Structure 1
Amino acid sequence: MPLSFHKMHANGDDFVIVDARHSANPMTAALARRMGDRIQGIGFNQLAVMLDCDDAAARVMFWNADGSELEVCGSATRGVAARLMCESNKTSVVLRTVRGLHTCERAATGTITVSMGEARFGWSDIPLARQLDTAFLPLEGTPAACSMGNPHCTYFVDDLAALDIANIGPAIEAHPLFTLKTNVHFVQIINRRHVRLRIWERGGGIPQGSGSCSCGAVVNGIRRGLLDDCVEVQCDGGTVTVQWSGTGPVLLSGPVEATFSGTFIHS
């Protein structure tokens, strides 16, 4: 059965969009894994499926390349918003995810900003296995944790280049403290408005960037008093901007680009 798709990326954080509006949701864990295979499929960090919605331009569901579902993806949300704004010839659109409604806007430069919702800090929101101070977890390196709809664990380090993230990341992702596993961030602070970020992504390995991880990393830095309320986040693939006043929604801004469109044949 043919399935149309669009491949996009946000500073190298690549994702696939399937438009299933006006039809049944075709996605399953097995199909997401097949499409996510970078040799025998299309390959992506995340997959976004657009569905009909009564109170927004679309409802969006997300999948990792390993076939697991996830609650939020900042890069793919911006990509869906960019496509829908182009389709409607508008500069703003509202999308619904499991996190709620997200207002997305396009600047004259083409940059897409999405309201990612409020960060949550309760131990059961993340969730953790037991009640703890989420700003200072009792793990080596004393990371901070928060939820952006998905779990985030942030380490502040002096030298990113000295870290073997491919070996460190999986153990932290699967640590028993994180009952649903976690995304892991390693942040080197350049100054209060600029950080360098590398990521081990839950269910995805090392990406070129991540919108929700950028948000989680900045939010945890602001909680620690290390960062201002508007921060440039430099990932391996490029830069996004995260704004958070300490209360209310977190704003994520950055470019998105179309790569190619095609048809995936599946049985």
Structure 2
Amino acid sequence: MHFTKWHGLGNDFVIINSKTEPISDYRQQALAVCDRNFGIGADGLVVILPSDIADFKMRIFNSDGSEADMCGNATRCVARYLYETGLTDKTTITLDTLAGIITPELIFDQNTLATVKVDMGEPKLTRGETPMTGNAVEKTINAAIEVGGQTYRVTALSMGNPHCVIFVDDVAAVDLAAIGPKIETHALFPRKTNVEFIQVVDRQTLRMRVWERGAGITKACGTGASAALVAAVLNGHTDRQATVKLDGGDLFIHWADNNHIYKSGPAVEVFRGEYLL
């Protein structure tokens, strides 16, 4: 099976073109391919398929075999992969995902790719949309939840997938491996949740660490960075555009007047190869 390996700020993916490399069992293939000891190693397996409603369809499978609705970092990688492999000559591409149509745009500076900008769509703020148990029309902004005998103030929302954002004084002091999975699987989140711990540096800068649903600790999360800015604005911490500093690097997030979130950042191909099934 021929593949290419990409990363967006260290959040890494194996990308497969299903037209030439058909897969019979996506879950099992993701488990095998993403294993960092016995496989290629990645946070997720991304499969490119044809679509009747967009330029391409993108399916994303986490390292635990579960399917993700959307992934901002994977979207940037897929957009550049499609363009640079000649599968499309468009610089603005529509992708059919479980979270709806996502539109990445390749931004060039004198014929050199400068960044990949993704229209992440509109944030969904109610409990019913997140999803989260409780009154479906209520919003969860700086609400108290108890986890492992400790109380956290959380802001929950969806960026096509669920997020639980927690503001702290020092993200480096958070034991992410211990608390992340407990919040991910908390009974309040029927489809589990991504978990972001955020330190406010100033009104234009956030520092973030993330526990991703189905993948664990990762160096970056595009939808998580988008959720972080939304939560920061809702809690009065930042303006509507900010740089989010992740373990793998920086993303620029803008919550525009049309209520859409725009995310800009890099996408890098690491290597290509043949996976021996």
Same fold (TM over 0.5): yes
Which is worse superposed, 123-132 or 113-122? 123-132
Residue 215, structure 1, aligned to residue 221, structure 2 = no
| TM-fit CA distance, 1:246 | 6.0
Contact kept, 8 Å, 1:137 with 1:144, in 2: the verdict is: yes
Q: Which position in structure 2 is the counterpart of 1:182?
A: 193
| TM-fit CA distance, 1:26 | 3.7
Contact kept, 8 Å, 1:25 with 1:51, in 2: the verdict is: no
Matched residues, percent identical? 38
Q: Which position in structure 2 is the counterpart of 1:112?
A: 116
TM-score of the aligned structures, taking structure 2 as reference length: 0.90
5 Å-filtered alignment, 1:120-159, equals: 120-131=124-135, 132-139=138-145, 140-159=151-170
5 Å-filtered alignment, 1:72-91, equals: 72-86=70-84, 87=86, 88-91=88-91
Which is worse superposed, 25-34 or 165-174? 25-34
Q: What is the rounded CA distance, in whole Å, between the counterparts of 2:220 and 2:35 in structure 1?
A: 19
Q: Which position in structure 1 is the counterpart of 2:96?
A: 96
Change beyond 3 A, Cα 1:104–1:17: same
Q: What is the rounded CA distance, in whole Å, between the counterparts of 1:118 and 1:126 in structure 2?
A: 12
Contact kept, 8 Å, 1:85 with 1:93, in 2: the verdict is: no
| TM-fit CA distance, 1:251 | 0.9
TM-score of the aligned structures, taking structure 1 as reference length: 0.94
| TM-fit CA distance, 1:163 | 1.4
Structure 2 residue runs without a partner (length 5+): 146-150
Residue 249, structure 1, aligned to residue 260, structure 2 = yes
Q: What is the rounded CA distance, in whole Å, between the counterparts of 1:115 and 1:26 in structure 2?
A: 31
Amino acid at match of 1:71: D
Does the residue aligned with 2:93 lie in a helix, a strand or coil?
strand
Q: What is the rounded CA distance, in whole Å, between the counterparts of 2:57 and 2:17 in structure 1?
A: 10
5 Å-filtered alignment, 1:48-63, equals: 48-63=46-61
Does the residue aligned with 1:77 lie in a helix, a strand or coil?
helix
Q: What is the rounded CA distance, in whole Å, between the counterparts of 2:162 and 2:132 in structure 1?
A: 9
5 Å-filtered alignment, 1:220-231, equals: 220-231=231-242
Question: Alignment RMSD, CA only?
Answer: 1.6
| TM-fit CA distance, 1:199 | 0.6
Contact kept, 8 Å, 1:9 with 1:75, in 2: the verdict is: yes
Aligned residues: 264
